[in-house]
Amino acid sequence: MKRIQEAIKQLQAGGLIIVVDDDDREAEGDLVGLAQYASPETVNFMTKYARGLICAPVSEEIAERLNLKAMTSDNTDPHGTAFTISVDHRTSTTGISAFERAKTIRELGNPDSQAGDFLRPGHMFPLVGREGGVLKRRGHTEASLDLAYLAGTSQAAYICEILNDDGSMARKERLYQLAKEWNLPLIEVDELARYMAFQDSPKVQLPSELGDFELRLFEDETGKEHLLLSKGDISSEQDLLVRLHSECLTGDIFGSHRCDCGEQLSAAMAKIEDEGRGAILYLRQEGRGIGLKNKLRAYQLQEEGLDTYDANLALGFEADARDYQIAADILDFLGIDSIKLMTNNPEKLSQLEDKGITITERIPLIMAEHSENQAYFQTKKDKFHHLLEA
């Protein structure tokens, strides 16, 4: 998330950044700038060093206002790239110089521009971005317009594919090298999608039996809804008291004695209430990531003699399929980079640290055993290596 924020600052200063798309898509990188800041210098840099086709992504609203019609009625591009008829600004002579192309780009992003301000055809190629941005289409067009939105400018940008010296497409490893050589920020569409998913995160006050909290929803790029339950001002808190709690309907709602999840959730809330500041990230990954239906199937296998570890394997899943990238992203988005983590699970420690979160202290969260979950506790200790010291 910090890379996104650094990239936005670079764009707002009139500079360029590199945006890399997904490996399973085009797997290429584009230089990206904001239309209203386009300059002869940045356009010339694109032509000299990137060497691809310079295009100008615009929103649907701008395309309609400027009467930018589709280049063809039968678009057979593999990724549905929405080219419009090419244009030059009416002040252009040839339209191809870096100076005149920069002018055309700026005027495409000018909210006062009208359709009659542009000659057709020309040397600049507008692209119409899809409504919803990278959460709907993970292309450079949508990525550049999402960045324009985040930067607070008009919904217009300019982009250019990056080629190697021999004319082949530059791929990820080379793109990271070029970012260092050119001293430019680099981001990936995947991380931008995660960042955009967080932009609409409603929050409400939540008074409860265990204290008064704030509840905030964070949606990931797949549409799954995760929750942040917090108390106090956590935005600039270092060594924040945190619990990562994976959803457990049977334990959290029905108080199941097959696990200790509900009790851990209540204990974490109570600890945060006592401290006066802290957060619980409630992650929607039921049944160690296999979902509620498969968790109940795993329970059936446990009733036939398997333990909680082997039951997941017997169903064809990993013993623990949870991933804590979303938790690290939320913490990063909130500016929290060091925490005190309430957990007995070493996997949470290692995953968060691998994702750049510093854990200054592990706080055990050990619940009393019930007759129904003694084997569950033993399996957590023996096979999942949970730190269940007395």
Q: Which residues in 143-266 belong to E strands, given as ranges? A: 157-162, 186-188, 203-208, 211-219, 225-231, 240-246
Closest CA to 109 of 55, 36, 54: 36
Instruction: Count CB-CB contacts under 10 A for residue 280.
Output: 23
Q: What is the DSSP letter of 373?
A: G
Tokens of residue 99, six digits: 């100076």
243 is in an annotated binding site: yes
Q: Is 100 annotated as a binding residue?
A: no
CA 88, CA 84: separation in Å to the nearest integer?
Answer: 13
User: Has 358 been labeled as part of a binding site?
Assistant: no
160 annotated to bind ligand? no
β 29-34/51-58 pair status: unpaired
- Tell me the residue ranges of DSSP E strands in 105-152: 118-128
Q: Phi first, then psi: give them for residue 313, nearest 5 degrees.
A: -65, -40
Residue linked to tokens 């309609």: 64
DSSP label at 117?
G
Q: Which of 217, 214, 340 is nearest to 271 (CA)?
A: 340
**Residue 87 β-bridge partners:** 124
Active-site amino acid positions: 320, 322
Kind of pairing between the strands at 17-20 and 358-363: unpaired
* 325 annotated ligand binder: no
C-alpha distances out from residue 366 to 51, 120, 265, 386, Å: 59, 70, 11, 10
Handedness of CA 3, 145, 177, 329 (dihedral sign): positive
Helix (H, G, I), strand (E, B) or coil at 29: strand
Does residue 364 have a cis peptide bond before it, meaning omega lies within 30 degrees of 0?
no
Closest-CA residue to 90 (of 117, 62, 120): 117
- Asked whether residue 308 is marked as a ligand-binding residue, the answer is yes
Residues 6+ apart with CB under 8 A from 172: 20, 23, 27, 29
CB 361 within 8 A of CB 340: yes
Give the DSSP H/E element, type plus range, for residue 88: strand 87-89
Binding residues: 243-248, 259, 261, 264, 286-288, 308, 343, 348
Give the annotated binding-site residues for Zn(2+): 248, 259, 261
Binding residues for GTP: 243-247, 264, 286-288, 308, 343, 348
